[in-house]
Amino acid sequence: MASITIRNLDDEVKDLLRKLAAENDRSMEEQARVMIRAAVEGQLGPSGRIDQIERTLRELTSARSPAAPVAGMGKIPRGLSGKRILLIIGGGIAAYKALDLIRRLRERGAAVRVVMTSAAQEFVTTLSVGALSADHVFTDLFDRNDEHDVGHIRLSREADLLVVVPATADLMAKLANGHANDLASTVLLATDKPVLMAPAMNPRMWSHPATRRNRAILGKDGIAFIGPAKGEMAESNEAGEGRMAEPLEIVAAIEALLDTRPKPLAGRRIIVTSGPTHEPIDPVRYIANRSSGKQGHAIAAALARLGADVRLVSGPVNIADPAGVTTVHVETAAEMKEAVEQLLPADAGVFVAAVADWRTATAAGEKIKKVAGEGPPALQMIENPDILAGVGHHKQRPGLVVGFAAETQDLVSNAEAKLRKKGADFIVANDVSHESGVGPSGVMGGDRNKVRIVSKTGVEEWPEMDKDEVAAGLAALIAERLKTIVV
């Protein structure tokens, strides 16, 4: 293929080409080739001459408002149309994820204006950020031009929401203590708009008492948080809590914070359980299952979006706590039961967690050693408490009790039996067998689900959907049922 010399183009055209290339995830050469091909094929006009392309580039770019969709993204719902996000990028390794976040926000119709701290510029360049946000990038509190044009007060005034990605330990400490010694911290202190922080740091930094204190202060001050999650860190050989929420999780949290639709679940308190439980065998081994927590967490988030005060009791998972939800972390079935009972009374309970049915009668205090000639240890198993049945028959039973049944065979008859035995109002049954045909990785751990709603009045079969869509459908159903339950 012939090479294209971008260097020879006018600066103005180069700039436009750079923006289009960034928006379309192409190199500038590839973007130019696409434009030339389109021009030659008559899609852009009669001629493939470079001045034609320059004109076309100009027309394309000037027709695009900052909030317009980027090319090739027509199918994405524009749920943030007209919303103005002020993104503050902090100086951490996860800063590179802010680039994807800008793209995701603009795909959804948001205008994104960016402030970068000086540490952030060590990790990503203002050039990339500016190309993706299609706007000037603000970096300096004392820049005369910036202060004259927009200024730190206007940056906040002209936004609907401030988002800090990544929220470093340093930025959290500054805001918790009211420091304002650079543009980012000054804007954060000067704003009366909602603020969302997505922390990202080494697990030891995150668990340090100072960071825990700052997180608690910021929570009390009304700052919303998304994450961090547990998982692999960018640094090699590091894992633990401190990994930043993924860009799409941050987008969902932003959408939830900016959602002004009516809240049919306002004033309702709902308990949700999610994830697996881990039942210890000894200090290093445990019995678990493949539940990822994706469905339970999505339900908690969907209920919160409808205005519910959601208390999520989560087993050990590798995904971020949902925004706008109070999450309690537990390990075992016994801890989950205890946490759920502490949260009663509630208007509804949605029991999504895949609670282990059994645990070992006694967990060994020391690691069980492999002794030559003795064979494997015989584990004596005992039954775990049945959390759903316990709540279904509890004297403080919520008005609405929803259980989940993950089955590999006889889905509906097993769900109907569970409905009767556990005192639930309805059971959401899903086929978790490998033959379920749901998604490439199946229901457990995958992003899709296919459920049936089994109640005393019959069985309703829902089509296969994303777990978020199943969650939205269930939240709407719960809102509908709770309308008829007066507290």
Positions in the binding site for ligand FMN (CB under 6 A): 90-94, 117, 119-120, 168-171, 200-201, 205
User: Can you tell me the distance from the alpha carbon of 279 to that of 197, in angstroms, rounded to the nearest whole number?
Assistant: 33
Q: Would you say 210 or 248 has its CB closer to ligand FMN? A: 210
Q: How far is the CB of 237 from ligand FMN (least distance, A)?
A: 15
Tell me how far, at minimum, the Cβ of 165 lies from ligand FMN, in Å.
11
450 is in an annotated binding site: no
Q: Which two tokens stand for residue 397?
A: 């039973």
Q: How far is the CB of 164 from ligand FMN (least distance, A)?
A: 9
388 among annotated binding-site residues: yes
Question: Which CB, 73 or 205, lies closer to ligand FMN?
Answer: 205
Question: Of 122 and 410, which has the nearer Cβ to ligand FMN?
Answer: 122
Query: Residue 129 Cβ, how far from ligand FMN at the closest point, in Å?
Result: 14
Is 456 one of the annotated binding-site residues? no
Q: How buried is residue 469: exposed, middle or buried, by Cβ count under 10 Å (0-12/13-18/19+)?
A: middle
HEC assignment per residue over 97-127: HHHHHHHHHHHCCCEEEEEECCCHHHCCCHH
Q: Between vectors from CA 355 to CA 302 and to CA 320, what angle results, nearest 5°?
A: 40
Cα three-residue angle 146-247-122, rounded to 5 degrees: 50
Which of 152, 422 has the CB closer to ligand FMN? 152
Tokens representing 192 are: 């009366």
**From 8, 24, 237, 289, the catalytic residue:** 289
Q: Which residue has the tokens 């820049």?
A: 143
CB of 313 to ligand FMN, least distance (A): 29
- Decide if 289 is catalytic: yes
Kindly tell me which of 22 and 200 has the beta carbon lying closer to ligand FMN.
Answer: 200
386 is in an annotated binding site: yes
83 is in an annotated binding site: no
Distances (CA, A) of 258 to 80, 91, 195, 253, 281: 8, 26, 11, 9, 45
32 with 17: CB under 8 angstroms? yes
Question: Which residues are documented as binding site for CTP?
Answer: 357, 367, 385-388, 404, 418, 422
Q: Which residues are catalytic?
A: 289
Question: Which residues are documented as binding site?
Answer: 357, 367, 385-388, 404, 418, 422
